[in-house]
Every structure is written in structure tokens, then in C-alpha cells.
Structure 1
Amino acid sequence: MSDGTLSIIFKLGLACWSVAVVGWSSVAPAQTLMGNVEVDASELVERLDAQDARLDAAERERDELRLAVESLAQADPGKAPLDPAVKPVPTDKAAAPVAVATGFTAFPRSPDGRTVYVSAEGNDRNHGYTPDKPMRTAAAAYQRIRDGRPDRLFFRAGDQFVGNLGALKKSGRNAAQPIVIGVYENADLPNAPRPVLLSPGGTWAKNDFRDTADHVAFVGLHIVAMNRDPSRPGFNAAAMTSDHWNASAITYLGDAQNITVEDCVFEYFKFALVFQSNPNNGFATDIKLHRNMILGSYGHWDIKVAGHSSGIFAAYVDGLVITDNLWDHNGWHPDVPGAKRTKFNHNLYIQKNCTFATDIRNNIISRASAHGLQLRSGGTIADNLFVQNPLGFFTGRFPSNVNDNVVLQSIDMSDDDGEARGHGIEILPCLRANVEGNIISQKKGTLPNAYAIQFSWEKDYVEWLNGRPSTGTLKNNKVYRWPREGQPTIDVKFGDIEQDNNIIDGDFPDPDRDVASYLTTLGVSAEDASLEAFLDTARTRPRGVWWPAYSAEAVNAYIRDGFE
């Protein structure tokens, strides 16, 4: 069949996907437009890949023909017809491209990008290139994605899938044209929720040191470690295997570049997200986490069983940007035997070998096992809400800007084993730290010497400075009801720190504000308002929708008004 004949067939809309369907048939003889031919199934797969360029060209011709027909149907005699060379807006209802004005990232379809569709009603024998011929599993669909191309793997909204995607070995074209692993709309269920991807064990998607999978965006997914979910019928922690205990959702090992995770939900993993390189591979670069919910990660107190746990672990990352996420209840779970709170588990754990390009802003960080955040590398911590973490957060080593955060109600790690805590903000020795405009309010922990803000001394960090001065500013911070027996609530133990206008228990107009009282401003009755009620609602935010009222920005503004 000539290229011209193929073009005519596509332009007339006749059997435009027959080549793809035939290419994936496992039956011989295979029925084609040329008749019956005996072809091995593996050869058919190779033929399909070899015809990518022809299929892409035919698709563009079909779109141009559609546009030309629409132009003729709508033509105004007094105006020139539309230019058929202009590519029309794609007709599929992909959910990933969301208006930039909403605060979500736009991921427009590329003209030469392929979309592979996956639905619960699909079949892995389908070609997957149209919503009416979807595939069934993530792993099989990923094989259709091409390396170095801006392709898209889309799960149908509202569907549920069991199984891991597997090894990540393919990259997008560049930062502007990534591979997008996201969502397409469900025609039978308008405004359907995120697709639920149930991971049976191990890691749902993993890039290893020896493979390259750069320029990838994960958008609008809900990934659950199914055998670690305590609410799942038949859950039995005693029956969990090593694969279950050590499960992760997305793991990147090595020098990954330009990875975006946005509007996703992760539940019940040991580590929901891991981005880890090493000196031999160099830094991973430009990792962005935006408007996700990282919930209920847990490990085991006995490191031989599972070991430590956090919502995220990052090491050797340059350019880690974490914005507008909800980090709740990571590092422990009260309903799982052995998954108790320990000092080793946190909401966010950023290692000292990351760079100070780390930027953490506008997150809600709550109810961690121990620290809400360990930013061992230094960087920016700004405008976040830390609430009911036993220890709020610390930073150190490289220059750090710690500005306009709200730390509320730091608590004990445990009521039954004497794990008293209640710290607010700790600055370990670093090249420079500017700590300004923060509010630390209403300590609940019982440790008598738990500080609100402290510039601490720690041997490893002092040795790293190697004689360089540790300097910084401590200005315009406000502290309320944070008693520290026999010691200053704001304490500078190390460094040359410029201090000014830090107020402790001042004449504040309404300093008892907290998340529960904020909830009453949204119309919730005082008897029903609580931190738990706020977080339970925040966890239900729909796909592609931003709720400003349930953001760190809104709660912090309310708390701050009580101190002005």
C-alpha cells in the first residue's frame, strides 16, 4: 500500500486505526486491508513501532481535514476560510491541561505526542490510542510510550486499577514537553475523581540508577499501597511481606531531571516519594511537588522489619521545590502494630547533601511521627503551616530563609512511653539563617525545655562549617504560650545572630486562634470544629480543583490577624 493510498484512507475516515489494531493482534493469519498474511506476533509489534511516523502524519492530515470541513460548514462569505495548516485543539477531554490561572500547571498536548488510554474496562490487546479502545493495565500501557517523545499515559477518571506501572525507563523530549502520566475524563461519570491505582507491593513506579527517565510529570493520580491500608477489609499487618512493608509510590534513584508530581494523592506507603542520587551519579535536578496530598506513610519501630519512614526522602537533589501540598500523619499509624511514633520518622526528610535551592512554601505539615520537616541542607521555608508535630522543623548547613511560617501546638510523640516533645523551630549551625516573621503558638508538648525558636549547637554541623562563621537574623517573630522552664523561650546558643523585635506573650489581640477556631469562620459549629475535621475535609479536595479556604495561606492569614 502506498503512502498516498494510506493518506486517502485516513482522510476519508475509513479504518483509520486498522493498522494499529492489526499490529497488536496475536492471531495468525492476521486480517489486513491487503488480505490474510501470516505474521508472527512479535514482528507485528515491531511493525507498529516502525509505522509511528506514518500514523502520526495520517493523524495530522485527518485533523487538518476535520478543520477544513468545519471551516466550510461555518464559512462566512465575507471572510477568508480558516487556515487548514493550523492544528486544531485536540478533541479528547484530557484532564491534565488545567488553566494556569487556577494555580495548576498546564501540560498541553504536543502535535507529535501520542496518547495511550487506560480504563478499568479496557483490554491490553487494544491499541490504546483512542478512548474507545483503551488498555487495561499501567505496565502494558507504558510499553506504548516512546522514549524521547512528549507522549501521555492517561487513566480514566473514577476507575480503579490493581498493579504497578513498574520500571521507569523513558524520558520526555525536554522540560517543556514531558511525558505526562495523568487522567482523562470519564464520559459516563462527569467530574469523576482521581483514578485509584492500587499498588499490591514494592514500588508503583521506579527509576533506577542505570536507567534514564527524565522530563516526566505525574498528574491527578491517587496511588494507594493496598496491602498496607488499615481500613481495607481483611487487613492483617502480621501477614505483610517485605514487599508490603517497604512499599513506595514513586522512587527516582540517580540524576533525574525535571520531574513534576502534581495534584496526586499518596496513601499508606513506607515512603510515598523518594528522590535519591549519589556523588557518582551527580545531583537530581528540578524536582517539583505541587498541590499533592501525602498521607499516612508508616514504617515499623523494628528496623529489621521495615525501618524508618517519611512522606518524602530526598538526597543529592538540586532544585527541590515543594509548594501547596498537604503532608499529614506520616511516619506512623496508630492502627498498625509496630508502626508507632519514633524520632526517626517525619513528614519530610531532606538530607544534608541536597542543595540550598530547596524551596518549601505554603504547605500544610501536620501530625508527623516526629519532625514536620527536617531540612538538613538549608534552603527556604516560608509561609507554611506546621500543626501538632512533636517537633516543628529544623534547618542547617547552607544559607536558610525561614520566613512567615506558623507553628501551632507542637505535641508529645507519645502519651504512653514518656516521649515528651514540643519544640518549635530549630536552626542548626549554618552559613547564614534569616528567621523572620514567624508565629509559634500554644505548645502542647510536656517537655519542660522545649524551645519556641533556638539557634542550636551540633557537632557535625559545626565541623562542616570548618571555621566559617554562623550568622543570621532573628527578627519580628511572635511567640505565645510556649513556656520553657528556667530557660529562654527564644534561645541563641550558637552563632552571631542579629536580634530585633521578637515578642513573647505580648499584648496580642486574639492569640488563642487555632485551626479549629478557623474552621468556625467557614460555618462549622464550634462543637464540630477541630483540627481533625479540617484535615478530613482538606483530604477530600477533588481532582483539578483548588480550595483556597483549606490552604496554609488562608489559615496562616487568620492566625496572623490574631497577632497584629
Structure 2
Amino acid sequence: MLLLVPNLGNIALFALIFATSPFLADLLEVGNSVTNRDLGPPTSQFIENVSSGNATMRVQELVQSGVQLIGNLVAPCSRNKSIPSRAPFSFETLECRQLMAVTTDAGGWTVVTPSSDSRVIYVSSSEGNDQNDGLSESAPKKTLAAGLALMRNGFPDQLLLKSGDVWTNEQIVGGNGSFGQGGRSADEPMLFSSYGEGARPKLVNSDLEPVRLVGTRSNIYVIGLHLDGSIRDSTDNPGGINVIGRGENLHFEDNLIDGFGTNLIVNRATSSDTWDDVSIRRNVIVNSWNTSAHSQGIYANAVHGLLIEENTLDHNGWNDAIGDEPSGFNHNMYLSHSNLDVVIRDNFSSRGSSAGLKFQPTAGVHYVSGNVFTQNDFGMTVGGGVPQEVPPITGAEYHVTNNVVVENTTKVTPSGAYGVLVTNVNGGEFSNNIIANKQADNPGWALSIMDGRNSWETRGYGVRDFEVSDNVIYNWRGQVQVKEPTTTDPYTGEISNVRFENNAIQEPSLTNDQPLIQLDAFAADNGVISFTGNKYYSKQAANEWFKLDTTSVDLATWQATKGDAGATNSRVDYVDPTRTVTTYAASLGYTTYEAFISAAKFQSKANWDVRFTAQTIGDYIRDGYQLDTVGVTPLPSPSAPTSSAFAPLPAFAFTAPMQSLMVAGDSTRVESSIVQQDSQPMMVSHQTAFSQLQQRVRLSSLMGGSTTNSDCAETKTDESASDAWNAAFDNWDGGLAGDYSPGG
């Protein structure tokens, strides 16, 4: 039966729902041109009816059309595999059916609900008894071994440890038959977590790995545990979470991992092993050390589909208190060459022994965005791998955007503190990053683009088809280097089609004696890298701003030789370019960096404070690089806490019908009404205004169906709208290279 609907009735309601999403509003605006993008007849009909104000349409058809429109933009159901979009808007599924065991709450935290046949096992060191059945909070087991004995292979069972309790030298161990291979599926995983109120349950271990998953392991979630290596001595070097073998769908979230040989390891046991879909998110990973081998905060190898998101990493790879000195082989994050299709976003990486991120995959497509790296010797290395192999590596595609690298040090590299090293890259971009305010007074480069060969890596791919654009490099005292191939070996990498555009290279220091850009002989004499529209400034003598091989030249000679159309000799006046993580800590009332980072280590689901996230810290620093067009004083600092002690902010909650929605990148803000249904906002959130803003699209209840979430999505952002329709369906796959141990 047809329903006649007034123009301001349900048609207007649904128009409002979709118009409040700027992306869908754009679709309505362009009208018929959108229908030619093969969105399907229901979507075309919906757009035509809403655009024309047609008041005669079945309400059910209208709702179905809205669902179809979202459905055409939603990536295929894949729990952990992140598929970055190539458009300002795409959607990633959160739930793939009506009743799901794994969901995400309004604060962005993973929730695993027991299935109807789950066995939930309770363990308490303070109140438990192994003679209890362990199936209720009132009758918990006492030891981890007794609890693990009740876990069943292939079932979505849950082992929950009592919050605030402590176990010493006990293990959650999967191997040799213990709890089998894991849960039923990605949607119904096996869970190791906590129950009750209070601090995370703590496993204090000396020579045992508190979480050990070996062999074939799939569909396992580890959430909300404290793994403590403080009782180790120099002869004990266990990992915190040690995953060795093969499998899929592993998820580690909200854990505090402190003081192990390597805090979190995911590696293969044999050259044919791989892990698919591994997520490492919102953990605090700190203070790894090892006096007899290499030590990392996170080490991952042979993972296909890896998400590392919103973690806090600090002081991994060294322990000065016991004489474990920093090493160039130890890092906060070390991702070896056999990983494929990695997303690293919104992490805070501080004071690594050497690199904040050593990122070496030699194939696949990878994304590094929104991270803050501070007080590392290397902010990050992008590319690398094992180029001595024959046949040579083919290079991976890297998209490195919107990161902040500041205050680098020289713990193990006295010759220089380096910002970013790029090598063995085949396509991608390095854009909208800030590299600024190096602590050390030495000539380490802010950005080094290399051919992929050095003293121990004899063959490489080089850097090809790569764009470096819209970055700020400020006060580094050693800015940009492009390094030539150094051998006639046919496998030596090459630098070709590198585009260096619209960057601001600014050197205000009087102590600087390095050029703004140095090209070694090959890059200086050949058109392997092009320059356009960059802004240069230095207090050096004008004829020393650039170096072509060994010859110093001024801007005019530089342009005559290398082009750089539109380049300017101009000091860019920023609002407050002195901003660093240290000044941010001071703005919050912390008198030392150590006090600030100690507070940041309290991050957890129960104490989530947005002031300690990479998003907030990065935004503070980026705000300092706004253009000062009217001579304003530095921007106001964030509000200071009431005391220098850690005081978590309350959890985010929607309290008003008007919310800010960031769209099409980090700089466009749209104010729009949030239409509510069942107290859930019918909108989607942006990528960088904190994960607490994640929301769900709820249409099922409007259709008279179940009130469970039927279409849940979160936004992604990226650079090109032209191929948005296909990007969500990309499937990243590739081959494997060789193998490495968790070392440099």
C-alpha cells in the first residue's frame, strides 16, 4: 500500500539523516551524476526521490534505499583486516551480522560477549580455590592452570581473572594441547580478560612468558591484563606476550606490558608460516630490556594484515638502571620484512633505544598516519628489508601521512639524530608530516632518502615513484639528504621519479652548519628527483643553503640546476613552532618529562585520558605550525590539571544534539545535527577527533526489525575521492621474503 507522506514528514526526516553526513549530502547535491556510478537501482531511486522532494514513496522502500546506499560503501565483512580507503569517506564494518560476540562500544573499546554455549571461567588468586568449579564469580579457581584446564578447543570460552589480583610465575600458555587452537571464529573468539572492579589482574614473571601462544593459534583475544617483568634478573629474558607459529585473528588490547626481554612478539616458526589479521591496540608497552640479545617493544614478522593503533610505547630496548645500554638494534616497534599490509596509526612512541618505528616490509601496501615520535634516535625508518637477497626485493608501497617527529636524541648514534629514513620504497607518499626541534646538536638528517644499500645491505630497490609533499621540517640542523647509489652492481637500488613538492624547509638556528638540501653526485647530476614550490629559509650564508655533491650553491643556482619552479626564499612565520612533547607536558603542569610519561602509562579502559593520546599531543604540536598572519602570540596551551598527579578525565559521552564532525581530512570541520534513535547517534565519526567519538549507524529499528545493530561503520579518511567506490573492496595480498629474529 502506498503511503502519502508530507514533504516535511518522513521524506524530510530521511533527507536530514543522510544530509547530516557530509559525504551523503554531496551525493544528493550532484544528483543524477551519482547514479551513473553503478550504485544500484535502490540507491538511484532514493537519491532521485529525495533530490526531487517526491512525496509518494513506500516508507519501507525509502529505508531500504538508505541501507542499500550504505551497503554499497561498506567493505566486505572482515573483522581485523584494515582496508584503507583512497577517498575522504569509506566505511569499515564493525558488525557483520545481527548478533555478534565481538563489538565495539561508544568509547572505541572491543567488547566480547559470551555466546550461548560459551564456558566462562573465573580465576582469583585472593579468593579462589582449585576445588571450586570456577564457573561463577562466587566459586573461582585459584591458579591459572586450573582455569586453563576448563577451556575447550574450538569454543568461544572465556578465562577471566579477578581485577586487582596477582599471580607470580604462572602462565596463560597455549601449546602442547593446552586449550587447543583457539576459539570458534573471528566473531566468536576465545577470550582472556578480567572481571570485577580495580586494577588490571597482574601476572608477575621472572623466567616464564606470562602469555605464550605457540603452534597453530586462531581466534584469540587478550584484553585488559598487566604483564609485569619487574622480578627478572639479567639471566632471565622471557617475552611478555610471545606468539610463535601460524594462525589468524589475534587481538591484543588494553594490556600493560612492562619490562620483558621483548614485550610483544608475533613471529613465525617456519618459513612457510604466516599470521593473518592481528590487531595490537590501546596497549601500554614499556621498558623492555635484554642484556644478552636484542630487545623490542613490539616485534612482528610474517603478519598479513596487521593493525597497530593507539598504543603508548616508551623506553623499550634499554635499561640504564642495570647497565643495559641503548643499542642500534633495539626499537619501540620493529616490523620485519615479511609483514604485508600494515596500518600503524595514532601511536605515541617515546624514548626507544634506537627507532621509534623500524618498518621494513619489502612488499605490500602500508599506512603510517597520525603517530607521534619523540626523543628517539631515529623517529622512524620506512622501508629497508633484506636487500642482500637475490632476486632483489621489489619494494613496498608506503603512505606516511600526518605524523609528528620531534626532539630526537643521540643515545646510540653520536654522529647524528635522524628524523626519518626512506629506502626500498616502490610508490606512495610522505606528506603532511612535521619533523622538528631536534634535541641533539649534530648533523643527523631530518629526512634521508637512500638507495637502499649500506655497509651490511649490499643490494636494494631504492626509492621510486614516491611523493614528498606539504611537510614541515623545522630547526633540525641537518635537513634533507638524497643519497646516491654507490656501486655498479645490477641489483643496486635506484632513486627515480621522486617528487619533492610544497615543503617548508626552515632552519632558524644560528648553530647550523648543514645545507637545507644535500644531493649526492648521482642525484645532483640526473633528473631522478624533481623539486617544485618549496619554501626555504636558513640563517646560513645564502650560498650555503644547498649542496650539489660537494658544491654549495644559493637558491638561484639551485633553481637553475634543479628547477624548483615557484620555490621561495621565505621565512614562514608560524604561531608557535617551538612546541614539542616536552612543552606539552609542561602545559599540563608536569615539571619533568618523566612525570608526564609516568602519568601516560596509567592509560587503560578504566582510566582513558585523551590528554595522553597521540591525537591530542599531535594536534597541540600541529597547531603551533599554523601561519601567524597577524603577529599573534603563541596559541593558548591546553588546560592544566588541578595537580601534577595523574587525574583521568571522565569517559566521553554525547551530551548535546550538535556535535563537530571532521570530514575529508583533518582540517575540514562540519557542524551537523546528530539524529538520534534508541539513544544512539545516527552518524559516523572521523579518524582523528579521538576514538571516543566512534558511533554507529542504526537503521534496523526504523525498519521495524530487530533493535540490534545491523549496519555499523566507522569512517576512514584518505586523499582521493575519485576511486572511493573501489577502494573499500581492495584486497591486499603478496608474497613472503626471508626471515629475521627479533633484532636489528
Confirm or deny a common fold (TM above 0.5): yes
Counterpart contact for 1:515–1:530, Cα < 8 Å: no
Pick closer, same or farther for the CA change 1:452–1:464 going to 2, 3 Å. Answer: closer
Pick closer, same or farther for the CA change 1:196–1:326 going to 2, 3 Å. Answer: same
Pick closer, same or farther for the CA change 1:144–1:542 going to 2, 3 Å. Answer: same
What is the deviation of 1:280?
4.1
Which residue does 1:495 correspond to in 2? Answer: 496
Which residue does 1:225 correspond to in 2? Answer: 229
What is the deviation of 1:97?
8.3
Counterpart contact for 2:424–2:451, Cα < 8 Å: yes
1:328 to 288, 292, 314: 314
Which residue does 2:599 correspond to in 1? Answer: 537
Deviates more, 1:153-162 or 1:96-105: 96-105
What is the deviation of 1:99?
5.9
Unaligned runs of 5+ in 1: 1-88, 90-95, 186-190, 229-236, 301-305
Which residue does 2:442 correspond to in 1? Answer: 447
Following the alignment from structure 2 to structure 1, what is the Cα–Cα distance between the partners of residues 270 and 426?
22
Pick closer, same or farther for the CA change 1:453–1:469 going to 2, 3 Å. Answer: closer
Which residue does 2:73 correspond to in 1? Answer: none
1:482 paired with 2:486, answer: no
TM-score (norm 2): 0.56
Q: Following superposition of structure 1 onto structure 2, how do residues 98-497 of structure 1 map, counting pairs within 5 Å?
A: 100-120=105-125, 121-169=127-175, 170=180, 171-185=182-196, 191-208=197-214, 211-228=215-232, 237=233, 240-241=234-235, 244=236, 246-277=237-268, 280-300=271-291, 306-337=292-323, 339-355=324-340, 357-377=341-361, 379-396=366-383, 397-413=395-411, 419-448=414-443, 450-459=444-453, 463=459, 465=461, 470-484=464-478, 488-489=479-480, 491=482, 493=484, 494-497=495-498
Counterpart contact for 2:169–2:208, Cα < 8 Å: no
Counterpart contact for 1:391–1:421, Cα < 8 Å: no
Pick closer, same or farther for the CA change 1:410–1:495 going to 2, 3 Å. Answer: farther
Which residue does 2:618 correspond to in 1? Answer: 556
**Which amino acid letter does the alignment assign opposite residue 227 of structure 1?**
I
Q: Deviations over 1:501-552 (max 9, x none)?
A: 1102232221001123223444x1xxx4343222111111244442211100
Q: Deviations over 1:324-362 (max 9, x none)?
A: 00010000011013x11010111011111111x111100
Pick closer, same or farther for the CA change 1:517–1:295 going to 2, 3 Å. Answer: same
What is the deviation of 1:101?
1.0
Following the alignment from structure 2 to structure 1, what is the Cα–Cα distance between the partners of residues 131 and 468?
63
Following the alignment from structure 2 to structure 1, what is the Cα–Cα distance between the partners of residues 441 and 586?
28
Which residue does 2:70 correspond to in 1? Answer: none
Following the alignment from structure 1 to structure 2, what is the Cα–Cα distance between the partners of residues 413 and 469?
28
Equivalent residue of 2:611, what SS? helix
Following the alignment from structure 2 to structure 1, what is the Cα–Cα distance between the partners of residues 115 and 600?
33
Which residue does 1:63 correspond to in 2? Answer: none
Pick closer, same or farther for the CA change 1:455–1:278 going to 2, 3 Å. Answer: farther
Unaligned runs of 5+ in 2: 1-98, 384-394, 485-494, 507-571, 627-744
Pick closer, same or farther for the CA change 1:385–1:469 going to 2, 3 Å. Answer: closer
Q: Deviations over 1:393-412 (max 9, x none)?
A: 11113111110000011101
Pick closer, same or farther for the CA change 1:563–1:295 going to 2, 3 Å. Answer: same
**Which amino acid letter does the alignment assign opposite residue 580 of structure 2?**
D
Following the alignment from structure 2 to structure 1, what is the Cα–Cα distance between the partners of residues 431 and 459?
26
Pick closer, same or farther for the CA change 1:132–1:374 going to 2, 3 Å. Answer: same
Following the alignment from structure 1 to structure 2, what is the Cα–Cα distance between the partners of residues 257 and 137?
28
Following the alignment from structure 1 to structure 2, what is the Cα–Cα distance between the partners of residues 407 and 495?
26
What is the deviation of 1:167?
3.0
What is the deviation of 1:100?
1.3
Counterpart contact for 1:278–1:316, Cα < 8 Å: no
Equivalent residue of 1:535, what SS? helix
**Which amino acid letter does the alignment assign opposite residue 241 of structure 2?**
I
> Higher RCO, 1 or 2 (CA under 8 Å, sep at least 6)?
2
Counterpart contact for 2:163–2:195, Cα < 8 Å: yes
Following the alignment from structure 1 to structure 2, what is the Cα–Cα distance between the partners of residues 133 and 343?
50
Counterpart contact for 2:427–2:466, Cα < 8 Å: yes
**Which amino acid letter does the alignment assign opposite residue 335 of structure 1?**
A
Following the alignment from structure 1 to structure 2, what is the Cα–Cα distance between the partners of residues 98 and 132?
27
Equivalent residue of 1:556, what SS? helix
Which residue does 2:673 correspond to in 1? Answer: none
Pick closer, same or farther for the CA change 1:413–1:519 going to 2, 3 Å. Answer: closer
Counterpart contact for 2:317–2:326, Cα < 8 Å: yes
**Which amino acid letter does the alignment assign opposite residue 345 of structure 1?**
N
Pick closer, same or farther for the CA change 1:256–1:380 going to 2, 3 Å. Answer: same
Q: Deviations over 1:145-179 (max 9, x none)?
A: 11100000000011111123253143100001111
**Which amino acid letter does the alignment assign opposite residue 426 of structure 2?**
L
Equivalent residue of 1:553, what SS? helix
What is the deviation of 1:481?
0.6
Q: Deviations over 1:105-152 (max 9, x none)?
A: 121121110111011221222211111111111122111111100000
Following the alignment from structure 2 to structure 1, what is the Cα–Cα distance between the partners of residues 351 and 164?
29
Q: Deviations over 1:297-326 (max 9, x none)?
A: 0112xxxxx211001111111111000000
Following the alignment from structure 2 to structure 1, what is the Cα–Cα distance between the partners of residues 252 and 204?
18
Which residue does 1:7 correspond to in 2? Answer: none
Equivalent residue of 1:507, what SS? coil
Counterpart contact for 1:443–1:481, Cα < 8 Å: yes
Deviates more, 1:162-171 or 1:389-398: 162-171
TM-score (norm 1): 0.73
Counterpart contact for 2:289–2:316, Cα < 8 Å: yes
**Residue correspondences, number:** 430
Equivalent residue of 1:549, what SS? helix
Equivalent residue of 1:335, what SS? helix
Which residue does 2:582 correspond to in 1? Answer: 516
Q: Deviations over 1:202-223 (max 9, x none)?
A: 3222222xx3221110000000
Deviates more, 1:261-270 or 1:419-428: 419-428
Deviates more, 1:118-127 or 1:146-155: 118-127
Equivalent residue of 1:559, what SS? helix
**Which amino acid letter does the alignment assign opposite residue 370 of structure 1?**
S
Deviates more, 1:248-257 or 1:547-556: 248-257
Pick closer, same or farther for the CA change 1:112–1:136 going to 2, 3 Å. Answer: same
**Which amino acid letter does the alignment assign opposite residue 319 of structure 2?**
H
Pick closer, same or farther for the CA change 1:278–1:155 going to 2, 3 Å. Answer: closer
